[in-house]
Amino acid sequence: MTKKYIIFGDGDCCGFGNQMRSFWGWARLATLLDRELIITNSLMNTLFKLRGSSKIPEGSVINCIPRGCPKTEKKTHFHSLDLINLQEDKLIGGGPEPMLNYVQTHPNFSKIKHPKEPDLIRGLSKDYIEGLTPTFSNHMETFKNAHGQYGAIQFRSFFDYHFHKLPQLEEFLKKFSQAHEKFPEIKTIFITTDSLGISFFIKYHLRAIHPSLNFTVSNWPQCPCCGDFSVRHTNFKPSTNKNNAVITLKDWSLLTGASYLYSNGASFGDAAAQTFDIPHVNFNRL
C-alpha cells in the first residue's frame, strides 16, 4: 500500500495563532485518515522542536485548504471532498480556519465520537511537539530568571481590521482583578498586544490600580532608519517579515511560560494556553 501524506505548510497568509488553531485539525485528520503528517510550516519549524519529517515527498497533490486569499487560486471546498477515498498522495493543509471543527463536522467523520477539544489538543501536542527551540526556550528562561513566576496579559485589538475589538478594552481592564485574584502569588505581569500604545495604556492603567504588581511590556521591532514600529500578531508572509515574526514568536514563547494567561480570546493567546496547558482566563467568560 502506497504511503500517503498531509502537508501542513504556510498555506494562506495568516497570523501564528490562527495557524496553530488550524494545525490541530490537520493533525487530527492525519490520524483519522492514517496519513503521515509532514510539517513544513515556517513559523512552527522556527519555534518548535518537532517530531517527524519536514521533507516533502514526491507524488500527486490536492489542495484542501478551505478558504483562500481571493488573489490566489480558488481552493477546494473542504466539506465537499470524500476525504477517505482521496487517491492523491499528498493532501495540502494550512490556512487560518478552526480545522478541528471542520474535521468533526465533515460528512466522513460527523458520526464519530471525538475526544473533548482540550484533551485532543494535549494529546496531539505530545505527539508532534517536543518543546521550544533553544532561541525561544532561552528567551523564556531569561525572563523567568529576571522576574520569577509571572502572569501574562494578551489583548488583540485587531488594528488590521479597523480596531474592531478596541471597544472591549475598558471592560477588559475592569475584569483583570477578577482574573488575577485567582493567582495572588504572581507579582509580575507580562503584557503583549498588537498595538504599542494599547500595551502601555494597559500597563499604566493597571499599575495605578495595582501598585504592588510589576507590569512589563514586550519589546517591539523598530526600523533603524525611520524609527517606525512594526505591526504585531497579524498576517505572516514568509518572504517579507521574518524578523518581525521572530519578535512576535518571542512574545508567544513568553506566554507558554506564564503561570496564567488573561486574554480577550484571540487565537494568539488561545493557542499558547491550549498547546502548553496553561490556566487561561478569557474575559468574555467572566
- If pLDDT is split at 50, 70 and 90, which confidence band does 73 have? very low
| Per-residue 3-state assignment (H helix, E strand, C coil) for 248-268 | HHHHHHHHHCCCEEEECCCHH
**What is the full DSSP assignment across 16-44?**
HHHHHHHHHHHHHHHHHHT-EEEE--HHH
Q: Copy the grid coordinates of residue 262.
A: 488573561
pTM: 0.87
Instruction: Give me the chain's average pLDDT, please.
Output: 87
* Residue type present at position 269: G
Distance in angstroms (rounded) separating the CA atoms of residues 210 and 83: 53
Does the pLDDT value for residue 144 go beyond 70?
Answer: yes
- B/e letters for 82-108, b = 16+ CB within 10 Å, e = fewer, are ebeebeebbbbbbbbbbbbebbbebeb
In DSSP terms, 175 is beta-bridged to: none
With a CB cutoff of 8 Å and minimum separation 6, the contacts of 172 are 155, 264, 283
Q: Per CATH, is 134-285 categorized as 3.40.630.10? A: no
Domain ranges of the chain: 5-132, 134-285
Question: Tens of pLDDT along 174-210?
Answer: 999 999 999 999 999 999 998 888 999 999 999 999 9
The C-alpha torsion from 192 through 195 and 199 to 205, rounded to 10°, is -140
Instruction: For 204-230, write each residue's pLDDT tens digit.
Output: 999 999 999 999 998 765 555 555 555
* E strand map for 60-149: 61-63, 90-93, 129-132
Q: What is the pLDDT of residues 47-72, one digit of tens each?
A: 999 988 788 889 999 989 886 544 44
Q: Are 110 and 43 in contact (CB under 8 A)?
A: no
